[in-house]
Structure 1
């Protein structure tokens, strides 16, 4: 039986640097957006009142986060597409479908959460005044429910399925596979109850992308030396 590492799985190791760069940019943009949203629209008891939202610093933080989200989604989809294309025929069809589906739902949830946060900004009357408490509460809870309750759980499925694919094909080291599983468990069970825990997803994406860049660089150097 032919070693799968010498076929399509081997091509997965040759993922171009563009894929790794897309993952790095996604991780940095998503982390920045999460931090800005957390600072601009507090979650929990500390964010019940809307009076603090008249602070221009908070509003600027949310606006900056909303500007970053579309680009984070674009880089994420590019990263998923390039990685799947270079895994090729060796990938498991079931896991590949779960990977793609969870990635798409994650992006949709991220965009929906951003739209909900933007709606809070758009319903301030008069200009510069705090939104009504009902509007503030609804928009705040809706945004966090979409992002943390649904989006991050889809991110957990994405991290888990990609880790399984990488482990089966032998293109991810054991430590990175375990890190992916730990990230998935954190997003599934910890993130909904512990603020800031969702940052593990961009952290995992950054580590994975850096690994792809390192492996790609080594293979290019080896190819150049051999020629």
Structure 2
């Protein structure tokens, strides 16, 4: 027998416009990365960039990061919803785990940066060079060495899911694999390689918005591989 209160319950559905979360993440995360990169020039003593650098740009980047992380969580949810009944436990675990690890390490590295800025405010003379060097080294290890590797695993697992389920066009799968390999191998070579990840998220989000009907394209511009 159905309880009277159950008649007012409704099944939750993912809003079509939720894919805008990926666009928001790409814009916020990309802006934060650019602000950090232009504020931390190469060739200086380890940690001195945070002590002597442009604090207002770094502070803005620290403020943007949490909001970009919230948007990334929404992006993960939208991608999982798109998989539906085609989701496989093995690939879903790798995909979800790598995405959450990436987000956690980005948050941790941002918190270290916020701590370095607080150290500068506490002692404007910048005499704690050892602390600044340790914090800078920890930040770079978390963001470039570990977080970016998780981002590469995130992309590879998602590309494999798309390849086997054929949910996305073949060209996007190929591009995803190429970008993932570049991020995995060259993240320590060029610090600007981190920008590749939010650009990829932006492309995926726009394609999802087109497929969901939120963004309309002329018929001749639609992909023939559309499911």
Q: TM-score range by the shorter chain?
A: 0.7 to 0.9
The CA RMSD over aligned residues, in Å, is 2.4
Q: Is the 8 A contact 2:19 2:78 kept in 1?
A: no
> Normalization by structure 1: what TM-score?
0.82
- Sort the Cα spacing of 1:54 and 1:22 in 2 relative to 1 into closer, same or farther, 3 A: same
Q: Which residue does 1:196 correspond to in 2?
A: 192
- Sort the Cα spacing of 1:131 and 1:197 in 2 relative to 1 into closer, same or farther, 3 A: farther
- Sort the Cα spacing of 1:145 and 1:73 in 2 relative to 1 into closer, same or farther, 3 A: same
Q: Which residue does 2:36 correspond to in 1?
A: 37
Distance, in Å, in 2 between the alignment partners of 1:40 and 1:19 is: 32
Distance, in Å, in 2 between the alignment partners of 1:74 and 1:150 is: 20
Q: Which residue does 2:153 correspond to in 1?
A: 157
Distance, in Å, in 1 between the alignment partners of 2:174 and 2:182 is: 12
Unaligned runs of 5+ in 1: 1-13, 222-227
Aligned: 1:25 with 2:24: yes
Aligned pair count reads: 205
Displacement after TM superposition at 1:111 (Å): 0.3
Q: Is the 8 A contact 2:48 2:129 kept in 1?
A: yes
> Normalization by structure 2: what TM-score?
0.82
Structure 1 residues 112-132: Cα deviation after superposition (integer angstroms, max 9, x where no partner)? 010111111111265543352
Displacement after TM superposition at 1:110 (Å): 0.4
Unaligned runs of 5+ in 2: 1-12, 218-227
Structure 1 residues 146-185: Cα deviation after superposition (integer angstroms, max 9, x where no partner)? 0110001000010111111112111111111111101110
